């Protein structure tokens, strides 16, 4: 997990280009989603974190975004209600 505040814009672009960052998340809400998600783009920089994979986000206790990862979010909801 990488905090947005710890990256320069150039480092961020390079890591996205090299597939070292594939997902973004909200550290306060513990939600992760695609980098192209409208909800994620509105997030303040101090709350934003980045992940290489969905597995990494889940290992850190984040849940899928209901907006851009709707199917995975519904699966997550179902699994927590058991």
Q: State the pairing for strand pair 23-26/31-34.
A: antiparallel
The token pair at 74 is 């519904």
CATH of residue 17: 3.40.10
Total number of domains constituting the chain: 1
Print the domain residue range for 54. 2-80
The values of phi and psi at residue 81, to 5°, are -90, -5
Local structure of residue 10 (DSSP, 8 states):
H
The token pair at 69 is 């990862």
Q: What confidence tens digit (pLDDT) does each residue in 12-71 have? A: 999 999 999 999 999 999 999 999 999 888 889 999 999 999 999 999 999 999 999 999
Instruction: Look up the pTM and report it.
Output: 0.89
């Amino acid at each position: 997990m990488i905090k947005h505040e710890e990256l320069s814009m150039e480092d961020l672009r390079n890591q996205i280009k090299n597939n070292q960052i594939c997902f973004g998340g909200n550290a306060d809400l513990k939600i992760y989603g695609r980098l192209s998600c409208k909800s994620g783009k509105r997030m303040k920089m101090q709350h934003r974190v980045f992940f290489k994979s969905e597995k990494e986000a889940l290992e850190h206790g984040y849940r899928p975004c209901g907006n851009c990862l709707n199917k995975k979010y519904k699966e997550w909801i179902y699994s927590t209600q058991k």
